[in-house]
Amino acid sequence: MKKLILLAVTIITASTAYAEHCPMLGCEGRTGYVYIPEQVAYGYQGKASVTFNGEEYRLVGKEKFPFVEEGLPDVNSVVTVGDGGISFYRNQDVPKIIKSLKVHEDIKYDASAKAAEVTPFTQPSFQMFAGAKVKILGYKQFGIPGIRDKLFVHILYLADK
């Protein structure tokens, strides 16, 4: 009987631990946040240049667009993860993300070369695979609005493909 109870406790503990560190494949029903790159949030997607302090800078880097559908998706819409896959930040990761956002800049300007490079936001996260379906639950902005703000979309992970 003790062995049976020990086996049951081991199985329950192992399955709980696995659920905490579940890779995105097979994690339907989880909610979390996806970073929306600055050029998408502010309409730079597909443009060859940006204007900064009245100067035109050619855009030399390009952050991948998170979804197959272009633009910012409507709340409650279902969208598809783009070709490269995207990072999915769990709710409990948000404090680390906010701390990282304080030192991250999306676009670095090089005045001498008249070039602007889009830099990716990197933070340890789960990776969602291309073709996954997510529902848009809403948007959340972190940082100081208009100065160092970063836009995230709150999503519900629906299906792997």
Q: Are 135 and 155 in contact (CB under 8 A)?
A: yes
DSSP SS3 for 102:
coil
Quick one: pLDDT at residue 131? 87
What would the pLDDT profile of 48-91 be if each residue is shown by its tens digit?
A: 565 666 666 655 554 566 788 877 889 999 999 887 667 778 77
Q: Whole-angstrom Cα distance, residue 5 to residue 39?
A: 55
Query: What pTM was computed for the model?
Result: 0.61
What would the pLDDT profile of 19-51 be if each residue is shown by its tens digit?
A: 334 555 567 888 888 877 765 666 555 555 656
| One-letter amino acid of 25 | L
Q: Whole-angstrom Cα distance, residue 141 to residue 149?
A: 6
Q: Which two tokens stand for residue 64?
A: 């991948």
Average pLDDT over residues 129-133: 86
Q: Which two tokens stand for residue 55?
A: 């100067």
